[in-house]
Amino acid sequence: MTGAPTVQRAGPLRVTTAKEAVRAFRRETGWRDEDGAVPLSFPVVWMKSPEIGEPIRAAAQEIGLPVHEAQNFDYFEPLQLDKAYDLMLELRREMDPPRLIATAEIHAVDGSIVGSVVSTLRLIDPAAIPVSEAPV
């Protein structure tokens, strides 16, 4: 298939850096102290939200297996603890090679841009990969 990439957009979606969620994320990702600054990678937590996670999963499942290829976090200012943000999501499908690129712009509630997260998923057709059997 050729032509322009397929693009989907959603937002603004209200997300937060709730203190307990940040503490749990810090703990689960190996930070020494649970209390502290919001980690740069914290926005991955927001993928639990159906409005964010479901479109990504649905687009990836059209081909099959999403394989994490790259992720980039760019901030103009750090995320603040216990603060609300608005997230604008763009999903772009590329066909050669098959990829899903999710770009999330993080905005303060006043509309100013705080940062962006770009995740690139390579879409692999599992049927194209032969299953190897364990040696006996």
CB 91 within 8 A of CB 101: yes
At residue 36, the pLDDT reads 92
CB 126 within 8 A of CB 65: yes
3-state secondary structure 35-88: CCCCCCCHHHHHHHCHHHHHHHHHHHHCCCEEEEEEEEEEECCCCCCCCEEEEE
Q: What does the domain layout of the chain look like in residue ranges?
A: 6-125
The continuous run of DSSP H or E covering 3 comes out as none
Q: Which residue has the tokens 């503490």?
A: 23
At residue 5, the pLDDT reads 62
Tokens representing 116 are 């962006």
Give 10-residue mean pLDDT values along the chain (136 residues).
69 95 96 92 91 80 83 97 96 90 96 96 86 72
CATH number assigned to the domain covering 6-125: 3.10.129.10
At residue 1, the pLDDT reads 44
At residue 112, the pLDDT reads 98
pTM of the prediction?
0.82
Nearest partner of 77 among 108, 104, 119, 47, judged by Cα: 108
CB-side exposure of 5: number of CA atoms within 13 Å?
17
